Amino acid sequence: MGKKISRSPLRFTRPLLPDLDKVMKRFRLSWDMGMVTKGKITEEYEKRAAAYLNLPYAASVSSCTSGLILALRALNLEGDCLVPSFTFTSTIQALLWNNLNPIFVDCHPSKFTVGREDLEASFTPRISAVVVPYVFGNPPPLLEIRQFCQKKKIPLIVDAAHAFGSSVYGKKPGGLGTVEVFSTSATKLLCTGEGGMITTRHSRLSELILLLREYGHNAQYETQNLGLNGRMTEFQAAVGIEGLALLEKHAQKRKSLAKLYQKHLSHLPLIFQDIEPDCESSYKDFAVVLQQKEWGITRDQAAAALARAGIPTRRYFFPPMHKQHFFLKKSGQSQTGRTGILLPHTEKISDQILCLPIYYDLREDDIHRVADEMTRVFKKSKSMLKGSL
Ligand SMILES: Cc1ncc(COP(=O)(O)O)c(C=O)c1O
């Protein structure tokens, strides 16, 4: 009898959750005291997160989206902001919630992040800030971008939604932007169900963010600014504390899975994401760009063939933000009368990208299975192409 081949259903993503008994042990005291929010566990989580990131302040929030809205609000900006189109909707929505116009810029063809040249090329005197995301855990060139922002005297907001588990120039993320905002939602390496974390090195900014997170009112219930209820609960914070203890091993595992993917897919015409030099990606996602001409089929056809074989994939980020009508009509680019925004790298990547399953429990034989199936899809499309010639 041959070796039994595993055919358990593959997931696209799956959080690494801490031991529930440990979480409950931590949570029970607060529960028994009736402290389900704004308590000691949240305080402890924020302290531990700041210590992990080696930063003076870390404010937990209900999500990265609410954190971005609050961070931009605290900076009190107006006008236009430079932002890549190759990102998630929240990056742009946070600008719109603050009445800021997105000016979409292109991204690097293999890093998928925005570079200093992309920002330089689109800078105008109306630009009041730069907002840059980590892409699938890959940091943008933050030292260069920070220098650019310092020269222009504008703040740098980092959408660090994918950054827990990454490293930047040998350090933990969170300390290079004027303000950085993480996500701890279910697809992230540090998962609290829903949630986020805001970091900054500036004490006054940090105090203002705490005020805004609390409806914008002070301890005397006097409203001082436009705020939100942006808090997370004590239970989520307990999950976060236990999750922090797992973060390093989770990040290491993802890196080894990404390496295995690269090894087993290297014979196919794919672009792998280049990671920023001296940095490490969390591999929140493992993405490949199909070289369309050589595959002879579209990304969506390849994804459908993989889905039929039980392999779930996702097309992050598609459609790109500058192609979405809702954003286009709000963009500073259309308001200044420029018709159509040409972002060739973003468009190519967005059309041809495919994110493959990656999570802590993914096994080497699962990666073989994905690689074998992708090879089969590629060969089949080639043979059909030959037949049609
Ligand atoms: C780049 C980016 N920014 C922001 C968010 C929003 O995060 P959250 O779901 O915590 O609001 C996401 C979500 O995955 C994201 O990918």
Atom number, ligand 1, closest to the C-alpha of residue 135: 1
Q: What is the CATH number of the domain that holds 170?
A: 3.40.640.10
What Cα–Cα distance (Å) separates residue 37 from each residue in 60, 244, 343?
12, 20, 44
Q: Is residue 11 part of a domain?
A: no
HSE-up of residue 62 (Cα within 13 Å, Cβ side): 13
Q: In terms of domains, do 62 and 178 share one?
A: yes
Q: In terms of domains, do 355 and 252 share one?
A: yes
Q: In terms of domains, do 65 and 160 share one?
A: yes
Q: What is the pLDDT of residue 346?
A: 98
Q: What is the pLDDT of residue 339?
A: 46
Q: What is the pLDDT of residue 365?
A: 96
Residues in CB range of 117: below 8 A, 6 or more apart: none
Atom number, ligand 1, closest to the C-alpha of residue 195: 10
Å from CA of 267 to ligand 1 middle: 33
Ordered mean pLDDT values, 10 residues apiece, the chain (389 residues): 58 98 96 96 98 97 98 98 98 98 97 97 97 98 98 98 98 98 98 98 98 97 98 98 98 98 98 98 98 95 97 97 88 55 95 98 97 97 71
The residue from 244, 273, 300 where one domain ends is: 244
Q: Is residue 9 part of a domain?
A: no
Q: Is residue 2 part of a domain?
A: no
Q: Is residue 68 part of a domain?
A: yes
User: Whose C-alpha lies nearest to ligand 1, atom 1?
Assistant: 88
Ligand 1, residues at Cβ distance < 6 Å: 63-65, 87-88, 90-91, 133, 159, 161, 183, 185, 196
Q: Is residue 8 part of a domain?
A: no
Atom number, ligand 1, closest to the C-alpha of residue 133: 1
Which amino acid does the sequence have at 231?
Answer: R
Contact (Cβ atoms closer than 8 angstroms) between residue 106 and residue 344: yes
The residue from 217, 244, 271 where one domain ends is: 244
Q: What is the pLDDT of residue 9?
A: 86
Q: Is residue 296 part of a domain?
A: yes
Structure tokens at 11: 């997931």
Sequence length of the chain is 389
Which amino acid does the sequence have at 314?
Answer: R
Q: In terms of domains, do 189 and 227 share one?
A: yes
Rg (CA), the chain: 22
Helix 20-33 vs helix 40-53: crossing angle, to nearest 10: 140
CA dist 333 and 319 (Å) reads 18
Q: What are phi and psi of 255, to 5 degrees?
A: -65, -40
Q: In terms of domains, do 258 and 232 share one?
A: no
Q: Is residue 293 part of a domain?
A: yes
Q: In terms of domains, do 167 and 307 share one?
A: no
| Residue-range definition of the domain harbouring residue 293 | 247-388
Q: Is residue 10 part of a domain?
A: no
Å from CA of 258 to ligand 1 middle: 21
Q: CB 5: neighbour CB atoms within 10 A? A: 8
Q: In terms of domains, do 264 and 234 share one?
A: no
Which amino acid does the sequence have at 89?
Answer: T
Report the domain count for the chain: 2
Q: What is the pLDDT of residue 7?
A: 56
Q: In terms of domains, do 216 and 263 share one?
A: no
Q: What is the pLDDT of residue 388?
A: 52
The model carries a pTM of 0.96
